[in-house]
Amino acid sequence: MNGKPDMGKQDFPHRDTRSGGKGLLERASEMFDFGAALKGTNLPPLDIPAELIPPPPVVAAPVRSAAPADPSVFRAADWTARVTPVSRDALAEHGFVVPGAPITGLGEEFRIIKRELLADVRGGDLKDGKVVLIASAHPGEGKTFCAVNLALSLAAESGLEVLLVDADVAKREAAGLLGLQSDKGLLDVLADPALRVEDHVIRTDLSGLAVLPAGTGNAQDAEYFSSARMRDVLAALVAGRPERIVIMDSAPLLAASAASILAAYVDLALLIVRADRTSETALRDAAELLKACSRVQLLLNGVKFSASGRRFGSYYGREG
């Protein structure tokens, strides 16, 4: 011994000579793969009660922002003119439906017509507004009367914008019947491409109703109506506006050519038939002139007797 401990012959507590000289850690390493355990694999399964297992985290779906409006899609402009009141006295004087007045039989009749018309024009493409032509065979069959009343009735609908267009340039009376005055209108816009049609639309104090007067009369109305400018003007009124309905009062079909020309631009033509005046021959001739329009409906006006006994006015205590 030179004073240094002899480590070669010393027995350590963890050494077991009965196991071939292998210690506890060495034998445990042979029984369990600690290397794999340290890497996260080969672990014995854990028996954990289901109620103690936390639910998987909920990952929120990414929020999709609304698609921006396509700037290439044209949308008709809003009406921007000052509001002009409609004369209720003028409406009552001419026998029209008066908004806010007691309901009459006439008002109920136009409610029925309105419902059928809406069902018809809303049955197609709802991307743009719809244009309805009001026509008759001859003067005096109630064409303008029906156009104004239908526009008034439609304007009472929530969510609709109704534009009454006076395209009967020989008479030019639709705006005046409502007590409205204007210097320029449809013909001026057609004659001058620098004019914007929306600048000449009269807004009224009746919610949902606006009026485009006929404008300055001239002898070239048929040529203006058949021009590409007319198509552009209508697009400027209804494009991208499914909530808009244009009611266009036209000249009588057998008295002027304007209505037959306009029939090519509209979605629906409403042919007014006076029960006690329009002959079958005149009706057939007028309908033939509307062949450019794919959908033509007849409206019987001036009926004195209803086989069903329908009398709305008597129910409300007032005759229409």
DSSP, residue by residue, 112-178: HHHHHHHHHHTTS--SS-EEEEEEESSTTSSHHHHHHHHHHHHHTSTT-EEEEEEE-TTT--HHHHT
| pLDDT score for 63 | 45
Tell me the per-residue pLDDT of 264-277, one tens digit each, with 9 for 90 and over.
999 999 999 998 89
Q: Sketch the domain layout of the chain as residue ranges.
A: 14-38, 83-315
Cβ-Cβ contacts under 8 Å for 181 (sequence gap 6 or more): 175
Least confident of 53-57, 102-106, 267-271: 53-57
Record: fold of 83-315: Rossmann fold (3.40.50)
Instruction: Give pLDDT tens digits for 234-272.
Output: 999 999 999 999 999 999 999 999 999 999 999 999 999
pLDDT digit string, tens, across residues 185-232: 999 999 999 999 999 999 999 989 999 999 988 888 999 999 999 999
183: tokens are 């210097």
The pLDDT assigned to 11 comes to 45
Residue pLDDT, tens place only, 1-38: 455 445 444 444 444 445 555 555 565 555 555 555 54
What is the structure's pLDDT at 314? 41
Q: Which residues pair with 210 in a beta bridge?
A: 163, 203
At 319 the pLDDT is 42
Residue 122 is predicted with a pLDDT of: 75
pLDDT of residue 317: 39
Q: What is the pTM of this model?
A: 0.74
The pLDDT of residue 22 is 56
- Mean pLDDT calculated for residue range 72-83: 85
